[in-house]
Amino acid sequence: MHRARSQGDHSMKVLQIPLLALAVLFSAQGFAANTAQQEKMKTCNADATAKALKGDERKAFMSTCLKKDVPQTQQEKMKTCNADATTKALKGDERKAFMSDCLKKK
């Protein structure tokens, strides 16, 4: 009976390892996205300070600055390129070449 329990414990540990890896992966992606947004905020803030903007003028500048194109995350690029490849009905090597080129562009 003790032996059966130890096999059950082992299978639980085997299951926990991939789940832990997934949790780390997703938290790292969220961190990278936050970092990009934080960098943009830092840059816009520095620009507003350099221009000595105050009050409503600063708010308007910051709003416009923060709305400018934010680079896509790798996950967003994959989603967009994959959708484009599907729309174009690409298959096999042609799809691989398209995906490679698409992911490098964006």
| Segment 59-92, tens digit of pLDDT | 998 888 888 776 677 888 888 899 999 999 999 9
The number of residues making up the chain comes to: 106
pTM higher than 0.75, yes or no? Answer: no
Helices vs strands, H then E, count in the chain? 4, 0
- 102 touches 83 (CB < 8 A): no
Q: Residues 14-58: pLDDT tens digits?
A: 666 666 666 666 665 555 556 777 888 898 999 999 999 999 999
Domains of the chain: which residue ranges? 1-69, 72-106
Other C-beta atoms lying within 10 Å of the C-beta of residue 43: 13
